[in-house]
């Protein structure tokens, strides 16, 4: 019994490391995607926008534990919604300062509608656009836990829910193709939740039923199968396997490909990270990044723009060294990307800048914990 318990603990630790590695990979893909794919983590075969946002939701579902609805809502407000609102306020202030000092136009004039959209859609400033994912996950996790309070644990209920969420997800993509996402903000919200909740459930199912069987298969075999499927899909469909951006639920090309490419991408990189976690093991940097992916998600666009800030300020000072830099596009929003060199530099600025923010937050948390000890 002791040996079995030790084995189970070790297995649990190993699983956590696999998903820590997956978190790190996914957030690096987010940054690279927003730098116009200049680092390119195997993007030609497993395009980021064919799986990586479902991967984040899948990971969250993997660690799902059912609680009472009240406790779940309270926990999600504390862990997701409050930080989300804090970062929104911070970047609204930063965008306001930038707009007033250097002439950008990165914050929208607040209206009752835009204030309402913060609770279901995302940020009022393009400087924090990626936070749409955070508020989406907030609602998905609350809804899923509420459903699990009705459908208790059990193989039959899990099968029923798997079928239900699959149909719901396929219906969502079909309606998006039919442009129901153009009917208004509430439609976008409903379609987004319907699409992503399936991956939350599949993460839970993967943990409970599938992972133990998958780990018995050779990593190379599973990777080869996923690789073969994606190569065939790319040959047949080309860029149509991408779906970007689900922030507005537009650009779905087919109603069935997103579920296929999400699974091939997730399983492929699960196998890669399982292998790396065994070979490399636990590292402080991996754990730090994995624990703070939301912080990186919220802050990286600002740091990606550091090369743009430098060039723009040079132009304001009269420099003519950057004739191809589009000042109107940069002023319009924070998503302007100048050229390859600036994008690569932006990628590393984002890595360093986000890590500095994380270290600062960790330092503040550490000091707060030490205060009661000093008083005593």
- What does the pLDDT look like over 73-102, one tens digit per residue? 999 999 999 999 999 999 999 999 999 999
Tokens 């296929």, located at residue = 260
* DSSP summary character for residue 108: P
Distance separating the N- and C-terminal Cα atoms of the chain: 42
pLDDT in tens, 106-123: 997 778 888 899 999 999
What distance in Å separates the CA atoms of residue 220 and residue 232, rounded to the nearest whole number?
A: 18
Contact status, residue 161 vs residue 147, Cβ threshold 8 Å: yes
pLDDT in tens, 236-252: 999 999 998 899 999 89
Residue 107: strand pairing partners = 125
Residue 125: strand pairing partners = 107
pTM for the structure as a whole: 0.91
Question: What confidence score (pLDDT) does residue 209 get?
Answer: 96
């Amino acid at each position: 019994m002791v040996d079995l318990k030790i084995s189970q603990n070790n297995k649990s630790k190993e699983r956590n490391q696999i998903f820590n590695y997956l978190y790190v990979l996914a957030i690096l893909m987010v940054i690279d995607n927003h730098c116009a794919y200049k680092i390119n983590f195997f993007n030609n075969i497993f395009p980021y926008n064919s799986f990586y946002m479902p991967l984040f939701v899948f990971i969250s579902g993997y660690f799902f534990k059912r609680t009472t609805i009240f406790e779940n809502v309270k926990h999600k407000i504390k862990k997701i919604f409050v930080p989300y609102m804090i970062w929104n306020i911070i970047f609204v202030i930063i965008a306001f300062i930038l707009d007033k000092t250097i002439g950008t136009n990165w914050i929208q004039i607040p209206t009752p509608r835009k204030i309402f959209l913060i609770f279901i859609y995302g940020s009022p400033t393009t400087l924090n656009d990626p936070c749409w994912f955070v508020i989406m996950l907030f609602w998905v996790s609350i809804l899923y836990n509420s459903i699990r309070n009705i459908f208790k644990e059990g193989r039959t209920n899990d099968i029923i829910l798997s079928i239900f969420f699959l149909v719901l997800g396929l219906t969502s993509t079909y309606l998006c193709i039919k442009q129901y996402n153009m009917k208004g903000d509430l439609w976008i919200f409903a379609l987004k939740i319907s699409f992503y909740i399936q991956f939350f459930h599949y993460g839970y199912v993967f943990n409970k039923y599938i992972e133990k069987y998958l780990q018995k298969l050779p990593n190379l075999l599973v990777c080869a199968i996923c690789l073969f499927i994606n190569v065939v899909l790319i040959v047949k469909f080309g860029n149509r396997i991408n779906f970007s951006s689900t922030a507005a639920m537009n650009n779905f090309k087919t109603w069935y490909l997103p579920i296929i490419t999400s699974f091939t991408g997730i399983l492929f990189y699960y196998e890669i990270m399982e292998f790396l976690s065994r070979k490399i093991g636990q590292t402080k940097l991996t754990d730090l990044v994995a624990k703070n992916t939301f912080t990186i998600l919220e802050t990286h666009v600002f740091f990606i723009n550091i090369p743009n800030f430098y060039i723009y300020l040079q132009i304001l000072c009269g420099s003519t060294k950057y004739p191809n830099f589009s000042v109107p596009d940069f002023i319009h929003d924070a998503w302007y990307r100048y050229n390859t060199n600036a994008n690569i530099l932006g990628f590393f600025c984002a890595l360093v800048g986000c890590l500095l923010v994380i270290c600062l937050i960790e330092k503040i948390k550490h000091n707060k914990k030490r205060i009661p000890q000093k008083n005593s």
